[in-house]
Amino acid sequence: MTTALRRLRNYIDGEFRDAADGRTTEVVNPATGEAYATAPLSGAADVDAAMAAAEAAFPAWRDLVPAERQKVLLKIADRFEERAEELIAAESENCGKPIALVRSEEIPPMVDQIRFFAGAARMLEGRSAGEYMDGFTSIIRREPVGVCAQVAPWNYPMMMAVWKFAPALAAGNTVVIKPSDTTPASTVLIADIIGSVLDELGHSRGVFNVICGDRETGRLMVEHKVPAMASITGSVRAGMQVAESASKDLKRVHLELGGKAPVVVFEDTDIAKAVEDISVAGYFNAGQDCTAATRVLVQDSIHDEFVAALAKAASETKTGAVDDEDVLYGPLNNANQLKQVKGFIERLPAHAKIEAGGEQVGDKGYFFAPTVVSGLKQDDEIVQQEVFGPVITVQSFSDEKQAVEWANGVEYALASSVWTKDHARAMRMSKTLDFGCVWINTHIPLVAEMPHGGFKKSGYGKDLSAYGFDDYTRIKHVMTSLDG
């Protein structure tokens, strides 16, 4: 006897709809490796319908005073809290994430981030009005850009959806968002929450739309004539494709594309504390985090002691079932990702040494053991390329100059951390490390008030903070004559 699969649907102009041509794709729970739902495989007709709904809803949403948009966002945040257990269940099934960790580590920051952007809606700052030419007054207007086409990733599908829709809606834009084809469930539930709030408060439900689909669906969204902006969190390849597609009609583009965060550990650090924090920051969410602490550079004088302690921490770190409160992380997101992580291990050079882990765990799902690899060189593939799995690499450096050179010697530039008791050294490193974030004696904490975003092949644009809010606005100069 087979269990019927749950049917997920697009959310367009306030209605849940199947794809216009009826096509679907199966959605797999990565903890079991089994399908639990179907989702639309949306095509051009679905994209057209969603964009038309967002375009029609834009003028009224744009023209609301900011306080009214704030009310909507605050109500959405309240509803997230009220329906938290539904969101937790959807995200756990989406990703195989431990239920307790979704409850403690994702719901509270998401609610806080929505409330932050609700406040930002009322802080549309610009330079003061003034006379910069005799007889004329200049005014700066900050306006929404229009319809935003947004593509969210599979590592944090629920939270990344918040990072995208909250600043966009707060600034007065309307949204068409596409979740990853492997993780649509929580975004569809978010559509139900937001749609009900918009309806209760008397606003068009076309303000927020969700379409499910694959890369082709995303391409159709980005190339569509309606959106004024395309935002994506994903791989470098995907970001380049979006930038190229958007260039055809000069859409604004917002890209967050991954990282290879260096974790620079100097000999004066507290090794036990550093290992404890770094192992959590490296293995949390199965290392499927653009800022994960997975590339460790350790000063040679403490290298052996540090590696031994890190390998011990890895052996004590647990992955497993969603209802096990002792696990730190769940499975990799999909079969292709498991294959990718295995491939990095299989292709390790002869000089590399696996200190812990290095293998798949269990006979179902996509679980991979917490892994430590030492003996690596700067030009090794696993040092240069993003693994996006629970694999921490370790290199040994001799001095600060070499540490900076190796830390910066990758194509990514999203996040980094420095571990030292020397304040002056920490300040020098924070200046010379070429990354969008530098943590000192910690790694991975984020707050709504501070920006998240990188340089180089990690993309451009900021999430969170007033800077992230600004990215969803445009600047207009208005000049008036004083002669009447």
In this structure, which amino acid lies at residue 254? H
How many other C-beta atoms are found inside a 10 Å radius of the C-beta of residue 93? 22
What are the tokens at 76?
């959405």
User: Is 212 an active-site residue?
Assistant: no
Q: Is 409 helix (H, G, I), strand (E, B) or coil?
A: coil
Between vectors from CA 256 to CA 216 and to CA 111, what angle results, nearest 5°?
A: 100
H helix and E strand count, the chain: 16, 25
Give the Cα separation of 384 and 366 in Å (integer).
24
Structure token pair of residue 199: 């309806």
Inter-residue contact 154 to 340 (CB < 8 Å)? no
**Position of tokens 């390790």?**
348
256 carries an active-site annotation = yes
Annotated catalytic residue, options 93, 106, 223, 256: 256
Q: How do 174-178 and 360-361 pair as beta strands?
A: unpaired
Query: What are the residues whose beta carbons fall under 8 Å from the beta carbon of 273, sequence distance 6 or more?
Result: none
Helix locations, 235-270, DSSP H = 236-247
Residue in the structure block whose two tokens are 């984020």? 446
Q: For residue 251, what is the DSSP state? A: -
Rounded Cα–Cα distance for residues 412 and 408 (Å): 8
Cβ–Cβ < 8 Å for 263, 297: yes
Instruction: Give whole-number Cα distances, 119 to 60, 68, 69, 195, in Å.
Output: 20, 11, 10, 21
Cα angle for residues 154, 156, 161 (degrees, 5° grid): 95
Instruction: State phi, psi for 283 to the nearest 5 degrees.
Output: -100, -15
User: Helix, strand or coil for residue 12?
Assistant: strand
Nearest to 171 by CA among 484, 482, 474, 483: 474
Residue type, 233: T
- Which residue among 148, 290, 355, 400 is the active-site one? 290
Taking alpha carbons only, the member of 221, 212, 375, 239 closest to residue 307 is: 375
* φ/ψ (deg, to 5) at 439: -95, 145
Residues known to be catalytic: 256, 290
